[in-house]
Amino acid sequence: MTRQAQAADSAEGEWASLRARYRLVRAQSERLCQPLLVEDYGVQSMADVSPPKWHLAHVSWFFEAFLLRPYLAGYRVLDERYDHLFNSYYQTHGTPFPRAQRGLLSRPSVAEVYRYRAHVDQAMDRLLAQSPAEQAAEIARRVELGLQHEQQHQELLLMDIKHILAQNPLLPAYRSDLRAAVVRSAEPLRWHRYPGGIGHIGHGDAGFAFDCERPRHRVFVEDFQLASRPVSNAEYAAFIADGGYRRSDWWLADGWDLLQRAGWQAPLYWRQADGAWQEMTLGGLRELDPQAPVCHLSYYEAEAFAAWAEARLPSEAEWELAAQSEPMTGNFLEQDWLQPMAAAAQKSGPAQLFGDVWEWTGSAFRPYPGFRALEGSLGEYNGKFMCGQMVLRGGCCATPQAHIRGSYRNFFYPAMRWQFSGLRLARGA
Amino acid sequence: MTRQAQAADSAEGEWASLRARYRLVRAQSERLCQPLLVEDYGVQSMADVSPPKWHLAHVSWFFEAFLLRPYLAGYRVLDERYDHLFNSYYQTHGTPFPRAQRGLLSRPSVAEVYRYRAHVDQAMDRLLAQSPAEQAAEIARRVELGLQHEQQHQELLLMDIKHILAQNPLLPAYRSDLRAAVVRSAEPLRWHRYPGGIGHIGHGDAGFAFDCERPRHRVFVEDFQLASRPVSNAEYAAFIADGGYRRSDWWLADGWDLLQRAGWQAPLYWRQADGAWQEMTLGGLRELDPQAPVCHLSYYEAEAFAAWAEARLPSEAEWELAAQSEPMTGNFLEQDWLQPMAAAAQKSGPAQLFGDVWEWTGSAFRPYPGFRALEGSLGEYNGKFMCGQMVLRGGCCATPQAHIRGSYRNFFYPAMRWQFSGLRLARGA
Amino acid sequence: MTRQAQAADSAEGEWASLRARYRLVRAQSERLCQPLLVEDYGVQSMADVSPPKWHLAHVSWFFEAFLLRPYLAGYRVLDERYDHLFNSYYQTHGTPFPRAQRGLLSRPSVAEVYRYRAHVDQAMDRLLAQSPAEQAAEIARRVELGLQHEQQHQELLLMDIKHILAQNPLLPAYRSDLRAAVVRSAEPLRWHRYPGGIGHIGHGDAGFAFDCERPRHRVFVEDFQLASRPVSNAEYAAFIADGGYRRSDWWLADGWDLLQRAGWQAPLYWRQADGAWQEMTLGGLRELDPQAPVCHLSYYEAEAFAAWAEARLPSEAEWELAAQSEPMTGNFLEQDWLQPMAAAAQKSGPAQLFGDVWEWTGSAFRPYPGFRALEGSLGEYNGKFMCGQMVLRGGCCATPQAHIRGSYRNFFYPAMRWQFSGLRLARGA
Amino acid sequence: MTRQAQAADSAEGEWASLRARYRLVRAQSERLCQPLLVEDYGVQSMADVSPPKWHLAHVSWFFEAFLLRPYLAGYRVLDERYDHLFNSYYQTHGTPFPRAQRGLLSRPSVAEVYRYRAHVDQAMDRLLAQSPAEQAAEIARRVELGLQHEQQHQELLLMDIKHILAQNPLLPAYRSDLRAAVVRSAEPLRWHRYPGGIGHIGHGDAGFAFDCERPRHRVFVEDFQLASRPVSNAEYAAFIADGGYRRSDWWLADGWDLLQRAGWQAPLYWRQADGAWQEMTLGGLRELDPQAPVCHLSYYEAEAFAAWAEARLPSEAEWELAAQSEPMTGNFLEQDWLQPMAAAAQKSGPAQLFGDVWEWTGSAFRPYPGFRALEGSLGEYNGKFMCGQMVLRGGCCATPQAHIRGSYRNFFYPAMRWQFSGLRLARGA
């Protein structure tokens, strides 16, 4: 075979694999919504949450707006008005429907949203059926982005569904068939030491990564230590018992203000009943597992705990450098626990860097040196959020495994806690 | 037949008729929800609106709380938690679920709510199957109240459904089969004169009326005049064209503030397209009928229009005295237009006092002299709202005809305008 | 003397008396501000309160806007920008400076505001020095209105000063030389009976009255009874002790909501110290006088108390009819107690109808039949506030005696309680 | 002289110098308030602003709370309640008076606040008169901190006075004798190159620095370039003219939202009159100097401008490394321009790194590696604000020169713009 033919062959192979992944990812989103009632699809329990139906439509809109409209000749939209309804925040693409009002849209119905998905899927089939042509590279790049985007929304779907159901005094379970976590005995917290110096973090040129993970660049860190596992529920309960939510000593000023205004007394989904802690989960209300990583903390709570524990949060550089020698395995969406779990018997390196809970870092979400946003409206993907938010690392029990990377930068405002967020302690050497 | 037997017979007859009416009213609520998708049942488009599903459950809770629990021996609730979820505002009965969060309740599902209705209906069947006993009078009174309450919610259902659908840029129709209004030519506005003096208003002892309509009492009015029909869309459009929403001259101070803050430029459901006015209706977006009564006005708008027209709103005493000689017929829910319509050729007295649109009066909703609230929690029904609201009279195209009376006092805050509210002009003699 | 000469003479006499009253009223405003520090003049403790300095300037602006500008040839304003700064709410006159920002104006300084007053006074001297001419009648009418307006603001000054100082943890006294109230023993509450029928209320043609007090008109009332004195602090404390602020039973829905949101536990200026009630007064913090009329109640509190006491508030017609046979004497501004006091030994009629505390009535502030607002911008004086507010009657310890009338209608929103407001019970016969 | 005597001598010398500096700094605060009217001292124009009077009292409270109470035997407070009123945010010291209500405190009066200052000064005299004893080192450290703290508030005083006066439609000047800026011709913007590598930033052990400037530590930067001067008014006006406030393209999402909500159209104190830009200054309203550095920008505006200019903001490490070779001279408080000015003819290095305007950096305000807060309540000084704010560098025309350092880290929330904040562009090499 000539090199040219080989290249064509390999391109064709990649194309086929993209088509296959497209189908898998799209099916996964729908599978996640299987347990929902039609009624659950439309609720928006706070402005940050989107109705599940809206997620399903928006991720389809993403393919329509950035692939079908520009690249599929003769593409006909199902409903021109969806371009407004399902645009999340792309101001340069058009005026998005107001975020806080997504819960008011009883129409399009759930069935119509699925019809919209099918419509987009059929058109995407046509787009991907064509032999790779002139624009193939850009199309492939965007399909990849669209799939990663949909995987992000798969985690958002679970976060949002959990939040929606938790507002309801009936405390309905998302899935009553969800297995109970494996109970394990307490692992003592140990410290792993890392030498300082100049290292590299960020994602290199090859393979997919979001714009904010690039470019790979040099960083300098001093010697540091990282805890062998995330902070556990038992440890966090000790902080509460020691006045964690009653004394200002350990709190950032903004956090203390918020705690008082909002009446926080524990992590988001904890409830006290007869002196014992319970926790709302995707499987309904459960006894708190003392050895499982604490979850659904705001940044303020994470930093207050760290101050109480006389430690600190790792920087994202420290976290990433440490993670470079660890396998990207763990408790992810595919394991189908949908709840963080106590680590199994301790291994050589730090446990649970990946999966279970996102770990708040002490780093603000800012552009890496040399950062460049994508061209056009896609440039709004991450860059415009690089202010006021903190970085979290490692993925969680609701993150698709194929979606995570050591360089992955998740980010939330410090007040937010409906994501699966916990913390791991760090300290100087 | 002895007198005693006759009385028993007649009581039995009333009892049977109550049973029959119970079934009819309850069926009517469900019939009104027929055109809804499951998705429409759960939306709460503003704090004042309740999800249709919640209405269906709440009116059932009313029977459960005030009839089944106290009077049906051995009654077993379907779900104890519903007593919290579906309590609207009866503080002395328990802590109601927060009103503004009703839209967050995806569960109980629509099917479960219908199941709850059936459960209550079966129990009510048992309660009403028993021969009238010692507590029969009180039970009958409460059933009557429960039915009137449910009829109120039938109108609320239509108001709320209209509001919910109107928030949606897709502008879905509640019923696409709704007939277009009969178009009629303009009726000139004439004035009917009424002599002053002492008259009686309010509802007497016989028959059902809400507590706030009682007691029947003496009032004094000066000579007055009442317009022959409600203000029309064309007349209101002339007010707008004359700067009605741009000049403060005619407005109450609170109204002018609100207009500026909220950006009001026309009645709630009006939209301007290519210089012409359109209106969102339960049948979808339609051309404005110039001769139909203007609808969905706040009190502020009604009073500003009256000031512009160099007239005033009638007091509720004037309205009721005038209405005492008019037949209680008109465009009600049963006529199934669900939209106010131009009156047919003028008759002797004022047209459309009943039906079409609620007419704002210039009277604050206050207790009549000698008012007494009901006993117990039912005392919260009307009395505690007798501050800050204005009285409207006459019913509208969404009011069940059997629900209206000449003494009927509807009331809303002056800022509200999602009810079917218009106005009729009055002036001194 | 010819009749013409007599008329001229009498006009000249009235004119001279107007000039004299102008000086007295203007001086009184400044005298009330004597005890203030410069620092006190500028504070706005809530949006409803105006800085004392602003009051002093605004009442001068009133003469400037409605008398000097239209009627004094060659009048030159001191500063054109004051027309914006000191316009309260006359939209048809110009755009008022935003009310809630009055406390931000450190300039004009206190000295400049006094200069502005002197400037206006000198010009008014010139206007009133001229012999009564063609426009004399209208000028006299407006001067009278301006003086009544300034007297209203004298009471507002005391209300606002009290509120301003009460926000300060140092609890400074407005006047440390204020006499302590005369302590009196408890007067038992008695009931005075009044026959119903058609009566006349409102102010006739002769003499000054605000537009809202007119026209005099017929009203019908049923037989009623009125309490012999206002509700006392001791009686109100018994209501509190009986759970008045903890049980919803007696409250209007809006009142109960507000109580919970705002955390109300007692009247505005009450404080509990070592089990005893104290009260912030214009003379500083004092022990509560149990026999003095309760003061600084919202309408909601007044109505809740009345419900608890199994009575009701009088209507404004009842109050005015009863007051027609009572002398207009009492504890007013001029007595210089500046605090309501227990009534002296009971006399034949009801005590303290005038003075001490404004008495909430159960009547909404609405136009009387035949009401006509003044012409031009002055038409905004009262008419545009005739919605959502309740009428209070009788004046209080901070009202100038010459300012009160039996037909006087004061009005506040039901939530407000920084005015000197109490209540008197009424009931049916 | 023995070494011991020498040490004592030198300690005595430092002690004397501290006494001298104490007097100078304290006098400076009062000098800055000289031009104020009593009326100006009490206004709080937004929650972030404090009344000048409060600043004067609070900085005195600082000496009282952290020096006189713990270290001066027999110290008697002037008024125990001031400990509550003038505590800014030290939760572990007591409950601070609510920040947003500082403008409600007409008392203590201005004269009393000056009396409080004198009281504290006399006590500080006694404390500093004593020979340096056991606790001398800690006392000296705290006095130094107290003086630096007061210098911070001197800049805050000017920022707040400017904001207070700018709210007033009369646009009063803080000082009418303020010289007009020297007008200079435009300096072309040039780029200075800096080599990357590992450098040191932060303050070393010797001399005073705030806790947040420590410890001195290693950082790594890539090669970078820095603009020769801050962005000028003319350049910023070009950004506005190019649609800077009308197109979302260059804005962070939070910035764009805020711009729309708040209606921003230009920097804080700019006003357009007849097509030309004017600017409110401490000397009153003035024509905008096109060559002066743009000032009173939020972080959002700074970053939007940088994006429009296809550059970026420097990191704080880049800024500090570049500043290490520059003299700490410039347009500071002592120069008494109180307004940023165009740089004089360009010199070798970048101009105006110090003085004129604070320069927004792209760095979030976070603890340096190894950061340790101070002990006790003083630990609340900086550490608890290390979230959500961005670092600014270099001081401004309102900063006391003796207060600035190359390592100085100022910080504000990205939405704030009443500080004298501008920007300098940076870019990669």
Task: Determine contact: A104 vs chain B, CB below 8 A.
Answer: yes
Q: Grade residue C5 by pLDDT with cuts at 50, 70 and 90.
A: confident
Q: Which of B253, B362, B369 has the CB atom closest to C366's CB atom?
A: B362
Q: How far is it, in rounded angstroms, from Cα B305 to Cα B319?
A: 18
Q: Is the pLDDT of residue B226 over 70?
A: yes
Are D197 and D221 within 8 A, CB to CB? yes
Q: Tell me: the pLDDT tens digits for B308-331?
A: 999 999 999 999 999 999 999 999
Q: How far is A161 from chain B (nearest CA, A)?
A: 11
Here the tokens at position D181 are 């800026």
Q: Tell me: the pLDDT tens digits for C359-411?
A: 999 999 999 999 999 989 999 989 999 999 999 999 999 999 999 999 999 99
Q: Tell me: the pLDDT tens digits for C93-152?
A: 999 999 999 999 999 999 999 999 999 999 999 999 876 678 899 999 999 999 999 999
Q: How far is it, in rounded angstroms, from Cα B99 to Cα C336?
A: 49
Q: What are the b/e assignments for B56-72, b being 16+ CB within 10 Å?
A: bbbbbbbbbbbbbeebb
For residue D344, what pLDDT is reported?
A: 80
For residue A429, what pLDDT is reported?
A: 85
Task: Determine contact: C313 vs chain B, CB below 8 A.
Answer: no
Task: Determine contact: D387 vs chain A, CB below 8 A.
Answer: yes
Q: Tell me: the pLDDT tens digits for A275-319?
A: 899 999 999 999 999 999 999 999 999 999 999 999 999 999 999
* CA-based nearest residue to B374, from B208, B256, B160: B208
More confident residue, C348 or B159: B159
Average pLDDT over residues C208-230: 97
For residue C10, what pLDDT is reported?
A: 76
Q: Which of A45, A106, A164 has the CB atom closest to B168's CB atom?
A: A106
- Between chains, do A217 and D222 touch, taking CB under 8 Å as contact? yes
Nearest chain A residue to D223 by CA: give it. A369
Nearest chain B residue to A49 by CA: give it. B104
Q: Which of A101, A110, A167 has the CB atom closest to B39's CB atom?
A: A110
Average pLDDT over residues B102-112: 98
Q: Is the pLDDT of residue B1 over 70?
A: no
Q: Tell me: the pLDDT tens digits for A252-287?
A: 999 999 999 999 999 999 999 988 999 999 999 999
Q: Tell me: the pLDDT tens digits for D353-366?
A: 999 999 999 999 99
List, in sequence order, every residue forming a beta bridge with A194; answer none if it has no partner: A224
For residue B349, what pLDDT is reported?
A: 86
Q: What are the b/e assignments for C196-205, b being 16+ CB within 10 Å?
A: beebebbbee
- Between chains, do B104 and A172 touch, taking CB under 8 Å as contact? no
Q: Grade residue A132 by pLDDT with cuts at 50, 70 and 90.
A: low
- CB contacts, 8 Å: A252 with chain D: 384-387
- Only one residue has tokens 């609100």, namely B258
Average pLDDT over residues B402-415: 97
D298: number of CA atoms within 13 Å, CB side?
A: 21
In chain D, % of residues over pLDDT 90: 88
Q: Tell me: the pLDDT tens digits for A381-397?
A: 899 999 999 999 999 99
Q: How far is it, in rounded angstroms, from Cα D412 to Cα D389?
A: 5
For residue D10, what pLDDT is reported?
A: 76
Q: Which of A107, A112, A115 to substitute to test the interface with B, most B CBs within 10 Å?
A: A107
Q: Is the pLDDT of residue C346 over 70?
A: no
Q: Tell me: the pLDDT tens digits for B137-160?
A: 999 999 999 999 999 999 999 999
Average pLDDT over residues D390-419: 98
Nearest chain B residue to C365 by CA: give it. B364
Q: Tell me: the pLDDT tens digits for A71-128?
A: 999 999 999 999 999 999 999 999 999 999 999 999 999 999 999 999 999 999 999 9
Q: How far is it, in rounded angstroms, from Cα D332 to Cα D404?
A: 9
Architecture of domain B191-428: Alpha-Beta Complex (3.90)
- CB contacts, 8 Å: B198 with chain C: 198, 220
Q: Which of A248, A253, A386 has the CB atom closest to D252's CB atom?
A: A386
Are C258 and C301 within 8 A, CB to CB? no
Q: Would you list the domain boundaries of chain A?
A: 3-166, 191-428
Mean pLDDT of chain B: 95
Task: Determine contact: C97 vs chain D, CB below 8 A.
Answer: yes
- CB contacts, 8 Å: C92 with chain B: 248-249
Q: Tell me: the pLDDT tens digits for A277-286?
A: 999 999 999 9
Rg (Cα) of chain C, in Å, rounded?
Answer: 22
Chain A to chain B, count of Cβ pairs less than 8 Å apart? 90
For residue D346, what pLDDT is reported?
A: 63
Q: How far is B377 from chain C (nearest CA, A)?
A: 9
Q: Tell me: the pLDDT tens digits for D171-196?
A: 999 999 999 988 888 889 999 999 99
Q: Tell me: the pLDDT tens digits for D212-241?
A: 999 999 999 999 999 999 999 999 999 999
ipTM: 0.95
Q: Is the pLDDT of residue D295 over 70?
A: yes
For residue A186, what pLDDT is reported?
A: 83
- CB contacts, 8 Å: C89 with chain B: 253
Q: Tell me: the pLDDT tens digits for D132-167?
A: 678 899 999 999 999 999 999 999 999 999 999 999
DSSP state of A337: -
- Between chains, do C42 and D37 touch, taking CB under 8 Å as contact? no
Q: How far is it, in rounded angstroms, from Cα A382 to Cα A369?
A: 15
Average pLDDT over residues C63-71: 97
Q: How far is it, in rounded angstroms, from Cα D133 to Cα D139?
A: 9
Instruction: Categorise residue A272: left if φ over 0, alpha if ψ from -120 to 50, beta otherwise.
Output: beta
For residue C194, what pLDDT is reported?
A: 97
Q: How far is it, in rounded angstroms, from Cα C342 to Cα C230?
A: 9
- CB contacts, 8 Å: C255 with chain B: 387
Task: Determine contact: B52 vs chain A, CB below 8 A.
Answer: no
Domain A3-166 classified CATH 3.40.50? no
How would you write B234-272 as a 3-class SS string?
A: HHHHHHHHCCCCCCHHHCCHHHHHHHHHHCCCCCCCEEE
Mean pLDDT of chain D: 95
Q: Grade residue C344 by pLDDT with cuts at 50, 70 and 90.
A: confident
Task: Determine contact: C52 vs chain D, CB below 8 A.
Answer: no
Average pLDDT over residues B193-197: 97
Q: Grade residue B114 by pLDDT with cuts at 50, 70 and 90.
A: very high
Average pLDDT over residues B55-82: 97
- Only one residue has tokens 């000579």, namely B223
Average pLDDT over residues B186-208: 94
Q: Grade residue B186 by pLDDT with cuts at 50, 70 and 90.
A: confident
- Between chains, do D42 and C42 touch, taking CB under 8 Å as contact? yes
